[in-house]
Structure 1
């Protein structure tokens, strides 16, 4: 018996993955560089107060998107992974997911817009500015929700080249609109629109890409909806908790700090651009692969821990780079943020831990593995409440340390649950 794989088959597999990784990496480097340039332009040319309002709005946009998705994308990925080679069945899964997304999007807007208005007004924004900022979020919110579902189709089919071209086009469009407006209208609402409008265009192109592999003329399927909702029911409570938890750092800064502290936290968060790049690579390449693996505990564990070792090496080089070039990074951010060396390095540590936690969550949910919401939420609330008495929340440094500690616990809980589940 020949235990060695066919050499031709092995070479073809290596070529396929090398091409896939090179296309994804090169496009994402362009996207992340353009995103970084946009971020620096916004930090340098928006007044501190407007930048603080911009950070508040974008943080709430993340919460709105989480609630609007509520596990639908994970459910679609899990169902799509079973039928990805059948254009009609994959279309049925996608259409069902898009139908559910509309209902959840409306509920998300109703819940989050009043909270956003309160936060903006509490940080000295006028009623007019608060309303304009809230309205300006809608294009990016709508596009973000649709993108998360439409991208699943080309990802499952490893058709990433048109996907990456689309992302590059959207990033270029964002930079062009931003540079055309920020010097004349240095306001948070206009800056948010500069992000949202190109994403609407990208969303239209993305739908055309998805139609190559999925039949959009299918009708929503009751059985598929039931399966997706089964994932949603497990993820939704965690999504609600995550929405509150994700806002917690900003709320703490708002309560114990001021608008300048919010701006500082937002500026330092630019370091997470590197983290975002790695997460996107995993999402495009490894999550679909993990979703399609057979239910073999040894295979799943090997794949998962191989990814963790890769992330460990990546995190080491990120932290080393930030430690060595701290002063230069702060110089790029601008004089308003000089002296935040320790806070910047702590933010990098937080970002790397978040990389492990987010990647684990994406890998697990792609297979429908979700931590029990009752246990997870109860446990994390107790942990966060305890940490609040151990850390000085009156300083930016203390708030970042608080975030690091809670993110570590979240990661460990997910890893342990994964190991327990695959033993079954």
Structure 2
């Protein structure tokens, strides 16, 4: 009888996964089409100097987004994986986490803003423009204080459609707005207008997800001290790693922005547009495999899910690399004539994207279970060792060498992530 129930459960899980994967894949293809369309308009229309500045702004946004989570999402997912089917408890968890993240975001903005100010100054951006840019970045992140936890809660409950739809709404509004400006008011297309449009689109997305998740947002929900203690535990455990990871993830932009030319910075930003290829895959992991891994209690099934994901990503990544090597001119033609002659750099960017995909995917799985043992102690020393060695050996004023250095850093992170997974599996006990 027990065996029959287990078999039925497996069949049901497979059915949900196939349906969910179809939803995420189709919506992500549409989403990345929107994102890629926006990117190509900006790459082709903005002068290289302006696109270099835009690349810095997106780097600041990425750092601020990472720092404002600062370990809290690990604790949230770990707790949420146990209470995902209890709405009152989930509501209390959302309220508890949101109350903490507000303070974290304020501190993160000071750090990310300082980083941004330094790089923007290197590009001769005026103080008034720098302030405007940073305020826009902050306005993009503020809705995430609440939206991130609502989104994760919906994913844990396998309610994928609203999570995907909010992203599509946000990007569709950006594409339509920027497209209209490009077609009819081209002379007004500038970084400032793009940022204003982005801020509006982010807030529209936030209001939509709030409306679709009213059952999770209970005004009577209280801050639970037990949840708060767990969340603070993970924040204290890896905040320094998150701080380092935020900057390490943008090391290419930082090195090129600080030591090379605006031309190289624009080249790097333009080539980075092809990262949408890997964004689709990482979204599948984050929206499907991550939440599923979080609520799975059987060690044998966890290992099976892990190996299946790694094999699938390896096959897909190999095919992407081969296409990029065989048809580089097709990729560069999309970017426009300003970015010709970057065949080698394109191959390195695709290779870097592949390694980063594995880092992101394995990290997502590890974090859902709180498997961060080696990351806590070894991530910063190992990354610093690789970075310092690379800076000494390589000429970092050259874009190619900066990309090679970033690849070496990514490889070291893959090794560390795998070590965390091995330790996690070895120490894991089945939960009945």
TM > 0.5: yes
Which residue of 1 is the match for residue 141 of structure 2? 141
Which residue of 1 is the match for residue 347 of structure 2? 345
Q: Secondary structure at the match of 1:389?
A: helix
Which sections of structure 1, spanning at least 5 residues, go unmatched? none
**Cα deviations across residues 369-412 of structure 1 (Å, max 9, x unaligned)?**
11342332122212221222333322111110110011001111
Which residue of 2 is the match for residue 418 of structure 1? 421
What is the 5 A alignment of 1:218-229? 218-229=221-232
Cα pair 1:90 1:214 within 8 Å, conserved = no
**Separation in 1 of the partners of 2:352 and 2:145?**
26
**Cα deviations across residues 45-101 of structure 1 (Å, max 9, x unaligned)?**
111111111100110111011111111122111111110100100111111111111
Cα pair 2:67 2:243 within 8 Å, conserved = yes
Which sections of structure 2, spanning at least 5 residues, go unmatched? 428-432
* 2:409 counterpart of 1:406: yes
**Separation in 2 of the partners of 1:303 and 1:10?**
12
Q: Secondary structure at the match of 1:402?
A: helix
**Separation in 2 of the partners of 1:372 and 1:12?**
35
Q: Secondary structure at the match of 2:142?
A: helix
Cα pair 2:294 2:365 within 8 Å, conserved = yes
Quote how far apart the aligned CAs of 1:139 are.
2.2
**Separation in 2 of the partners of 1:248 and 1:7?**
47
Q: Secondary structure at the match of 2:193?
A: helix
Report the RMSD for the aligned CA atoms in angstroms: 2.0
**Separation in 1 of the partners of 2:139 and 2:178?**
15
**Cα deviations across residues 323-355 of structure 1 (Å, max 9, x unaligned)?**
233101101101110000110011000000000
Q: Secondary structure at the match of 1:220?
A: coil
1:5–1:270 distance in 2 versus 1, CA, 3 Å: same
Q: Secondary structure at the match of 2:187?
A: coil
* 2:257 counterpart of 1:249: no
Give the alignment partner of residue 311 of structure 2, picking from 309, 321, 340. 309
1:126–1:317 distance in 2 versus 1, CA, 3 Å: same
Which residue of 2 is the match for residue 236 of structure 1? 239
Q: Secondary structure at the match of 2:232?
A: helix
What is the 5 A alignment of 1:60-79? 60-79=60-79
**Separation in 1 of the partners of 2:7 and 2:226?**
42
1:9–1:302 distance in 2 versus 1, CA, 3 Å: closer
Which residue of 2 is the match for residue 327 of structure 1? 329
1:101–1:137 distance in 2 versus 1, CA, 3 Å: same
